[in-house]
Amino acid sequence: MNVELKHNLNVLTANFSVMYMKLHHFHWFVKGPQFFSLHEKFESLYNEATGYVDELAERLLTLEETPISTLKECLELSTIEEAKRVGTDKEMVQEVIDDFQAIDQLLHKTMELAQKDDDEVTNDLLVGISNNIQKHIWMLRAYIG
């Protein structure tokens, strides 16, 4: 397996692990008139993020590689920052959009590596994740207006 492909799969695992906690943070601390809809949306997104962590880690294991598996490793490797403060509902949504855009860029770089490695299964996994992330970006942008 390409070393950069393995690295990127682990970075994606780290990013979705950090997103999992950040989305919990937003889920717990969102306030205002959109509380109910955003509370549910953030919950849906963190449930999805945990699924991606599992899929990416299991893909690495299938390829006889070692996925990262500690919080320390996740924070060291992630390109996404953990939640640092409580903001407004729109600030929270914008932060999720920004993070999803960064993740989607990494997904596309990693797809290119998987294609060069003739790894159609990894590429297919990443295409599916990217499709979902892009849809979330569209919907969250529509929320902000």
81, amino acid identity? E
pLDDT score of 14 more than 90 = yes
Q: What is the CATH number of the domain that holds 26?
A: 1.20.1260.10
CB 10 within 8 A of CB 68: yes
The pLDDT, as a whole number, for residue 1 is: 78
Domain encompassing residue 15: 3-144
Q: pLDDT by residue (tens digit) across 93-128?
A: 999 999 999 999 999 999 999 999 999 999 999 999
pLDDT score of 6 more than 90 = yes
Q: pLDDT by residue (tens digit) across 29-55?
A: 999 999 999 999 999 999 999 999 999
Single pTM value for the model: 0.96
21, amino acid identity? M
The pLDDT, as a whole number, for residue 84 is: 85
Mean per-residue pLDDT, 136-143: 98
pLDDT classification of 131: cutoffs 50, 70, 90? very high
Concatenating the DSSP letter of every residue in 88-119 gives -HHHHHHHHHHHHHHHHHHHHHHHHHHHHTT-
Q: How many domains does the chain have?
A: 1
Concatenating the DSSP letter of every residue in 36-51 gives HHHHHHHHHHHHHHHH
Measured distance CA(40)–CA(58) in Å, rounded: 27
Tokens (6 digits) for 66: 């070692």
